[in-house]
Amino acid sequence: MLQLKTYQQQALDVLEQFLLASREQPLPVAFRASLNAQQRDEIDYQPLFGATPCVCLRIPTGGGKTLLAAHLIALASAARSDNPAPVALWLTPSDTIRRQTLEALSDVRHPYRQALAQHFGAELRICDLDELATINTHDVGKSAIIIVATIQAFNITDTKQRNVYAFDENLAAHFAQLPTHGATALECVTAADLTAQPFLTANDIGRIKYSIANWLHLQQPLIIVDEAHIVDPPQNDC
């Protein structure tokens, strides 16, 4: 198995320190403490998602960011929520990189897969969005589930135009413990959906969508954004 370099392990150690501190302290305070430990104080925490921790690991080109991402799934899940079987959504900037990442994570001989296996052993499921419906309900909470997708699969205003937001009866088992209508924060069938999915009827309006997006909302996954592009000036990178 490919061993982490010193700077890679240091990056993971700082991330772990921040996440552990964030369980008991406000995010800006936890972030500041992790910087102080590195004798750095020029960066302020940017609260992009409310109470959900959001940070960027800044790694030089060729520095092994994907290998780090494979290691940090177990680290971040344990540090933040003590979850031994997390769900992770791994977002890539293009379909080409999505295919390459999916292939690497699925190959038991590849260092990325070996990094995951080091933490999760055989209790590991790798899939893309189209294969998510094949994940058994018994896998949730038992196996680490890593879903590889492009950012573009989710980045849209009109959700009718993306399969990830569509009603899929194959996901029904994952929603069996929920009320049929009106669960808070979950997307429900609207009249506009009847045109996009003709098998739905007027009786389905208001019904919770058995969709990938709703399933992910229920699982509250760790989200990894591969090759995130920082648009702020360098002194604001975090």
pLDDT tens-digit profile of 172-183?
999 988 876 656
Return d(Cα 158, Cα 139) in angstroms, integer. Answer: 31
pLDDT score, position 160? 63
Residue extents of the structural domains in the chain:
6-153+217-236, 167-210
Return d(Cα 164, Cα 154) in angstroms, integer. Answer: 7
Residue 58 — pLDDT band, cuts 50, 70, 90?
confident
Residue 158 — pLDDT band, cuts 50, 70, 90?
low
Residue 231 — pLDDT band, cuts 50, 70, 90?
very low
Nearest CA-CA partner of 174 in 148, 195, 145, 150: 145
Q: How far is CA 140 from CA 34, 125, 230, in A?
A: 32, 10, 33
In single-letter form, the type of residue at position 153 comes to A
Could you give the 3-state DSSP secondary structure of residue 60?
coil
Pairing of β 87-92 and β 124-128:
unpaired
Half-sphere exposure of 21 (CA within 13 A, CB side): 18
pLDDT score, position 45? 87
Q: What is the pLDDT of residues 102-143, one digit of tens each?
A: 999 999 999 999 999 999 999 999 999 989 888 999 999 999
pLDDT score, position 143? 96
pLDDT for residue 44 is more than 90: no
- Cross-strand partners of 90: 148, 224
Return d(Cα 179, Cα 45) in angstroms, integer. Answer: 38
- Show Cβ contacts of residue 10 under 8 Å, excluding neighbours closer than 6 positions: none
Return d(Cα 34, Cα 30) in angstroms, integer. Answer: 6
Percent of the chain scored above 70 by pLDDT?
A: 89
In single-letter form, the type of residue at position 57 comes to L
